Each structure stands twice: as C-alpha cells, then as structure tokens.
Amino acid sequence: MIRKREDIWKGTVNYYEKFADYVQVVKVKGNAVTSLSGKVEFMVVNAKSALPPAGVDFSVSFGK
C-alpha cells in the first residue's frame, strides 16, 4: 500500500499500484451448507483520467 498526502483531497490517501490481493478467512461451524456473497467495488485512476466506480458481485458456497 502506498500512503501519500494529496492536497486536492485535503488529506492522506492510501492506494495500490497495478494489483492488490485481499484475503478473508471464513470459518463455517459444523456441517452447515451455506454461501457467502458480496460485491467488490473499485475505481481506476491515473494522472490523466479516472474511470467511474465499478463493481463485481461474487458468491462462494461452503459445506457438503
């Protein structure tokens, strides 16, 4: 992660360049059959332009 002071935002911003891996450990108690779903939202910005925010829905199934 890169942490940088940005006057345009009047504060410090945190960002990643090129890629980032996010990991979440999920523990399922017992033999439950369940699923986890959510949405990852992101925005691409460079020195010349910014794309509007985008999102990707995901779903993962657990259990037997």
Nearest of 18, 10, 20, 61 to residue 40 by alpha carbon? 20
Encoding tokens for residue 8? Answer: 């345009």
Q: Pick 60 or 63 by higher pLDDT.
A: 60
pTM of the model: 0.58
pLDDT surpasses 70 at 64: no
pLDDT digits (tens, 9 = 90+) for 22-61: 898 988 888 888 899 999 998 888 888 989 999 999 999 9
| Buried b or exposed e, range 37-54, using 16+ CB within 10 angstroms | eeeeeeeeeeeeeeeeee
The one-character DSSP state at 48 is: S
Q: How far apart are alpha carbons 53 and 30 in whole angstroms?
A: 38
Encoding tokens for residue 52? Answer: 């509007």
